[in-house]
Structure 1
């Protein structure tokens, strides 16, 4: 079955599998460290409440059988440990069937988390991780040569990620067609990184080059993934370079890193490894070949709706078409904001707030707050509360379900919620009142940075939430 395998991609498969396992580990670790405040039994959007409103068919998850914070923690930490083992090569130390079972277990555990995560898990990269992880189940281990069909399915996924993002930009904001979006994007993106200020201050002609290069890589290069080597490897290399540029310029959880890992599966690295055929292995088992063929048929059938979405003038940005997140549609930044608004949450110990009340600001780990604080690098780790605060600043509608419970937990001094923050101004006792105000942020100019040491300038826009206390 020589046509069935691609031995020249033996090393590429290993790089892909180890990288995917690392990102799985980051995702499970993020869940383990943040879930109690977000979706725990006493969280802002409790899983038990959600389970009463849904069914196993609508949101498949082992938590339909039973939910407790202890069980959720066990699932998250088990996933973290299993991902670490796979990253260290555990799948190559066991028989093929056992390796597939390990990858399937990892996928099932994370699916169980995503499907009860509600708005905290409504990000495109959650579906991307699950779709990639499901394909990885069938990629095999050192007992078999890499199956060509699964590698092509990974390229089809990478194509949809890049081409979908390119189409939605061209169809969306006119600034992408004018090549001016990146004059704003580095400043207004959800969570800037430590180099975002410097990217924003690049000359305007370079911003146009950035935008034009983005269009080439996302709209033209993806078609080259299905050409013979070395052209396919060159195309994947261009995507990797573009994604590394995005890694340096912002924080997008594991979206960029997962795209890099997908592109790595395309690279023919035989010139570097000197082992074009890998080590001699037994023939591909018939049962394994049958499963790969069944997977290919399933993905082709399930690709109909994502393809129709790509062709539609009303293209959806990120969407799953089934509760198992098997074949999804992707896109990013169909519109780019021109201004940046941020919610600043403050508290006071005063019983009756007045004009002379002294308010103390809560600090977040990732999102802008203190103008003198340089944004930090967190990706691929995902700060879910910080991301949702960015959406809440765009419109209160994005925060209708969880912002009130968030403030209530600040007033109660909830330890799990406070662990999500970077700075708690009330370490000894919770505040009596909490309020939120909307500020407009912009990056400082070179002169402002030199004179004040502040990376941001901000001005008050309006009140977002008036002072409230427990019981209001």
Structure 2
């Protein structure tokens, strides 16, 4: 009996009850956003007539390499139904359903969310090829073993969540320090607020801060990512202070740009280091069931074993960003912006309904929801929602290599006025009939100066660079072909 009491006191972290509650509810909210994103965008991006159809992918890639429920069935109706089911299950956990059911049922609910989202990520190809997808899966897997209101939070799982947060922050800090020299000379933020993938409504103001403040921002980032993460493993209250610093720096990033749920999920992970007992006291819980303790210890052992590869990656001079070492995305590497783009370029899509192309042809522009287009339009805040096509358009402007496999299909869908594809856009200039031709132009964008902003009302100034893709039209087979009008 004494041994069992000792084990329970060692295994349980009763003072973290409130932190667990907030962490789980916030994680359920991120899941909800992720599944909602899938429900709204899957058909156009990965559906049967999508830009990269998942049904073709699952025929080519074996289940063992990309485990997914959609290897069994991959119709638009079934996959969209799974997305809406995931949305509903996330909403149930958000309002506390996991705490009113038995412990085993709560674990099953979290495990089902994880397996469902894994199914989307593993068939999502480049549209799901972002570090925050793996981060959500890794966090979601650990959440299965956090327990519910019936038991105290397991200390092992809390430390595994801190280990995950450490890899996110320290990995991001190392990739910067080892990468672009502007991180070491503190000048990267002379450019980054302007050239980041999807600026937010305050990005113009951040970019216009005095350059000495930009250098302070970079220096503070190095402290937050290279020094503070070690404090997560110190005794309290140091761990809580380290978590608070992480949360504050992530809020700064939230206000300055749109990075899907990356920053929000990082803040959620920081809650694993926050001792809530000064607020709530130390609640009493029922004894931890032996079967639950065994499952937690087994999961912890698995994570420790799988951590070998990410840990080796952190120590490597050829450190890789955002890589999964197993198809279940259980323990991964993270990082972002090892190099910073100095000049912002944007691919602008245009269409015309004229039958023949001449020098006098009138072209009308398609507007995307998030990426810059109309120079007078203030960038919007979309995060934590993920506009997947907008992000890929940013990569396309970096290099045509990023357009392989999907860009031609995008043009084809625009020439057809495909409803699902147009729903991904903010505005189509052809609401009633499809265009006869579409083309892509490359522009250089920069934020306006304060004076230009006052005089023109524009947030951006853009300069034509070159033709990205010449005009195309549907040929006799219904595929986009070069127009020689």
- Alignment TM class, shorter chain as reference: over 0.9
Q: CA deviation at 1:283?
A: 0.8
- Secondary structure at the aligned position of 1:358 is classed as coil
Alignment of 1:377-416 (within 5 A): 377-416=381-420
TM-score (ref. length: structure 2) = 0.96
Contact map agreement 1:11 1:269 (CA 8 A) in 2: yes
User: Residue in 2 aligned with 1:449?
Assistant: 453
Deviations 1:239-274 (A, max 9, x none): 0000000000000000000001001221112222xx
1:184 aligns with 2:191: yes
Q: CA deviation at 1:281?
A: 2.3
Which residue of 29, 33, 37 corresponds with 1:26? Answer: 33
TM-score (ref. length: structure 1) = 0.99
User: Residue in 2 aligned with 1:349?
Assistant: 353
* Number of aligned residue pairs: 469
1:72 aligns with 2:76: no
- Secondary structure at the aligned position of 1:52 is classed as helix
In 1, Cα distance between equivalents of 2:335 and 2:82? 30
Which residue of 213, 217, 223 corresponds with 1:216? Answer: 223
In 2, Cα distance between equivalents of 1:308 and 1:38? 35
Deviations 1:337-382 (A, max 9, x none): 0000000000001111111000000000000000000000000000
CA RMSD of aligned residues (A): 0.6
User: Residue in 2 aligned with 1:38?
Assistant: 45
In 2, Cα distance between equivalents of 1:410 and 1:240? 42
Give 4+ residue runs of structure 1 displaced > 3 Å after superposition.
none
Which residue of 247, 269, 281 corresponds with 1:276? Answer: 281
User: Residue in 2 aligned with 1:131?
Assistant: 138
Q: CA deviation at 1:276?
A: 2.2
User: Residue in 2 aligned with 1:201?
Assistant: 208
- Secondary structure at the aligned position of 2:321 is classed as coil
Alignment of 1:211-360 (within 5 A): 211-272=218-279, 275-278=280-283, 280-360=284-364
In 2, Cα distance between equivalents of 1:66 and 1:146? 37
Which residue of 83, 90, 100 corresponds with 1:83? Answer: 90
In 2, Cα distance between equivalents of 1:344 and 1:204? 30
- Secondary structure at the aligned position of 2:360 is classed as coil
Structure 2 stretches lacking a partner, 5+ long? 1-7, 476-480
1:4 aligns with 2:8: no
Contact map agreement 1:361 1:425 (CA 8 A) in 2: yes
Structure 1 stretches lacking a partner, 5+ long? none
In 2, Cα distance between equivalents of 1:441 and 1:53? 39
Contact map agreement 2:354 2:436 (CA 8 A) in 1: yes
Which residue of 371, 374, 380 corresponds with 1:376? Answer: 380
In 2, Cα distance between equivalents of 1:205 and 1:189? 20
1:97 aligns with 2:97: no
In 2, Cα distance between equivalents of 1:9 and 1:332? 30
- Secondary structure at the aligned position of 1:464 is classed as strand
Deviations 1:296-350 (A, max 9, x none): 1101100000011000101001100011000000001100000000000000011
In 2, Cα distance between equivalents of 1:135 and 1:268? 19
